[in-house]
Amino acid sequence: MGENGRVIVDCALYRAGARIERPQDLSEALDAARARGDTFLWLGLYQPTPEELDLVARELKLHPLAVEDAIKAHQRPKLEQYEDSLFCVVKTLLYRKENTQLETGEVALFLGDGFAVTVRHGEANPLHDVRLRMEQQERDVLRHGPASVLYAVCDAIVDTYGEIVAEIEQDLEELEAAVFAPHRKNQAERIYLLKREVLEFRRAAVPLLSPMRQLAEGHVPGVAKGTRPFFRDVNDHLQRVVEAVESFDRLLGDILSANLAQVSVRQNDDLRKISAWVAIIAVPTMVAGIYGMNFEHMPELKLQYGYPLVLLLMLTVCAALYRWFKRSGWL
């Protein structure tokens, strides 16, 4: 199979935790890895077409159902055991703080006898740095074979979840401050958008709990026992993330209720102010209306000081009403 620089991100053989060579032929590399118990092949792919992934699947004898799921890239996080391979799907996330948008991607992993294949979709969580970290700093982990790749990928993705949790916490604090600010605006749209992204976060993190628990407890055949402590660590971090995400969902519901209450209170305040001013203006309007009817026989029309007395009466009543509404909090 020819190498495509766009699709094949990296391909290498690892022996006893150290990178030894970049194979030219997958079949020969796989045979060489299986001939020794301490060697495995790690192939990384980025958004391959069905034809490109099919070539790899035929070489490594991957299960067709798992290959189909890896191509579609719209799967729930899961862990499935096939005849001679393990298939895992993990959601990747990229949080764009400037527009409160959470972009989702996906990493599908195939683990088998002497090989590990990662298939990444989306921009989030590039795996090149994960590979470098394993090669340079965690060679002892790589000694555990293909399962170490699954650990490294899940660990990097869950760490990203933790970073996103911190960013959403900041957004929630800003949102709370905006809702209860003296000169506040209706934050319902912003709350709804963030609540939708938290729901997307929940869909990525919560279903991953079951696969991580199985790996941490050693209930998955073909996964080296030595990797259990590493998966337990990932599982602990994931549980904290899930707890945080679920608390975000509840808190956003409370913030939305508080925002609606603030809007209702603000509307009531505006309505009371309008009512108070209408009552004040009604006094001179009523008096002017009465004396504007132009009847010939009306009392006080012949009084010398009738005009200033009526004006003084209107001003006095309006001032009294204004003072009373001010004391009662309507103005």
pLDDT mean over 256-264: 75
Q: What is the pLDDT of residue 301?
A: 66
Domains of the chain with bracketed CATH? 8-262 (3.30.460.20), 264-328 (1.20.58.340)
Q: What percent of the chain has pLDDT over 70?
A: 92
Distance of alpha carbon 65 from alpha carbon 115, whole angstroms: 18
Q: What does the block give as tokens for 196?
A: 């939708």
When the pLDDT of each residue in the chain is averaged and rounded to a whole number, the result is 84
Distance of alpha carbon 208 from alpha carbon 328, whole angstroms: 57
Residue 1 has pLDDT above 50, yes or no: no
Helices of type H across 46-187: 50-60, 64-72, 128-137, 139-142, 146-179
Q: What does the block give as tokens for 267?
A: 């509307």
The residues, any chain, with a CB within 8 Å of residue 100's CB and separated by 6 or more, are 171, 190, 193, 194, 197
For 105, the enclosing helix (H) or strand (E) is: strand 101-112
pLDDT mean over 308-319: 80
